[in-house]
Amino acid sequence: MKFYEFIDKDPKVGRLVVVEGTERALAERAVEVLLDRLLPEMRELNLERIPAAEWSDASRVREAVSAMPFLAERRVVIVSDAQDLRAQPRRDLLAVMEGVPEGNTLIVCDLVSARSKRPEPLGAKAGRTALRIDTAANEETRARFIDEMLAQLGAEAEPRVRNELARSEADLASVRNDLEKLSLTGKKITYKDLASESIAVEDPKAYQYASALVEGKVAEALGIAHEFFANDPRNAAVPLLSALATECGYVWEMARPGGSLPARMAWRERPLRALAGRIGEKRARIAYERAMRGVEAVVTGNAGNDPEDHRTLVERITAELAGLGRR
């Protein structure tokens, strides 16, 4: 069942729910809606959350789902980030999922694609006993999410802003963060605002520039930047600097205690964490802010309107951050 089908149809919830797909923002909302429906009262006494990071063996989950509810119709147990569990713990969790007693509900957040082959989604193995909520988001889903966020924030946006975010590949948690920041001004969000604030970039070559620079491969980064300006001099600076801000933002997040990446970027955690160890939280934050100031300077015209001014700005920022990946 797609996320908005679950929201609109209000299906019956039984012993087992698997929230899958890769959009954490939708997964978090699905869990909150489930809790509102299942535990409208006495929530603190009948809810247990077990993150994958605290997993030792399946006994804690088994005991939690077998406990009697206290002054309520049911007890709810949530296992979050099951996608982070290794093969044997996933098998152990599946065994628990198959034996949840009537009256209680186990919610498993397994944020992998419903079509994933490795790991295979737990929901696919659970069979028809599970209510599966798929958080995968197409353009229509993204557009509705954006409209709901704007309404929640009491904000307005130009149609182009909505369309650009709906078509982008940025995860919805990042879209939500962008809209929250942009709505603080209290004015209608324009595309110019989005371009200066959003760090969602689609061109893979821009990401290659950013990745090379953060890793200390300055010559390679400059080569990609020069290629960008040769192909489209008037529109080269913003994607390059936005991609750099994104990359530095990921490293900054990895350098923070307990930092985590969006689910769609989990495959990059190991190399980014290694970079974060070398760069450190403070330097990563400074690099992120420098890249974002560069984007703002281009968009607002403070960097000048001549493409050569933009090229100079990109080269200067590249030189400033040249030693970022070195100890």
Q: Which amino acid is at 274?
A: A
> Mean pLDDT of residues grouped by 10 in the chain (327 residues)?
96 96 93 96 93 90 95 94 92 95 96 84 90 95 96 93 86 83 83 65 74 90 92 88 90 85 71 88 92 88 90 94 72
Is residue 291 a part of any domain in this protein? yes
Is 73 found in the same domain as 128?
A: yes
Contacts of range 207-213, beta carbons closer than 8 Å, 24 or more positions apart:
207/243, 207/246, 207/247, 209/240, 209/243, 209/244, 210/240, 210/243, 210/244, 210/246, 210/247, 210/248, 211/247, 213/244, 213/247, 213/318, 213/321, 213/322, 213/324
**293 shares its domain with 209:** yes
For the question of whether the overall pTM of this predicted structure is more than 0.95, the answer is no
* pLDDT per residue as tens digits for the range 24-40: 899 999 999 999 999 99
Q: Is position 312 within any domain?
A: yes
Structure-block tokens of residue 215: 């890793």
| 192 within some domain | yes
Contact 200, 243 (CB under 8 A): no
Structural domain contains residue 325: no
Same domain for 148 and 232, yes or no, is no
For the chain, the distance separating the N- and C-terminal CA atoms, rounded to the nearest angstrom, is: 48
Single out the residue in 83, 99, 134 at which a domain terminates: 134
Is 3 within 8 Å of 135 (Cβ atoms)? Answer: yes
User: What does residue 25 show for φ and ψ, rounded to 5 degrees?
Assistant: -60, -40
77-133 pLDDT, tens digit each: 999 999 989 999 999 999 999 999 999 999 999 998 878 888 899 999 998 889 999
Q: What is the CATH number of the domain that holds 295?
A: 1.20.272.10
Q: Which of 179, 197, 215 is the last residue of a domain?
A: 197
Q: Write the pLDDT tens digit of every residue in 184-199.
A: 778 899 887 776 555 4
**Which pLDDT does position 199 carry in this prediction?**
46
Is residue 201 within 8 Å of residue 242, measured between CB atoms? yes
Instruction: Check which CATH number belongs to the domain holding 169 and give it.
Output: 1.10.8
Q: Is the peptide bond before 119 cis (omega within 30 degrees of 0)?
A: yes
Cα–Cα distance, 323 to 312 (Å, whole number): 19
Task: Single out the residue in 118, 134, 150 at which a domain terminates.
Answer: 134
The domain of 87 spans 3-134
252 plus 299 within the same structural domain: yes
User: How much is the pLDDT for 201?
Assistant: 43
Q: What is the pLDDT of residue 1?
A: 94
Helices (H), the chain: 3-9, 24-38, 43-46, 59-66, 87-97, 122-126, 139-153, 159-167, 172-182, 191-197, 204-214, 218-231, 237-255, 269-279, 281-300, 307-320
Q: How many domains does the chain have?
A: 3
In DSSP terms, 108 is beta-bridged to 18, 79
Phi/psi of residue 77, each to 5°?
Answer: -120, 135
| Cα 23 from Cα 262, distance rounded (Å) | 8
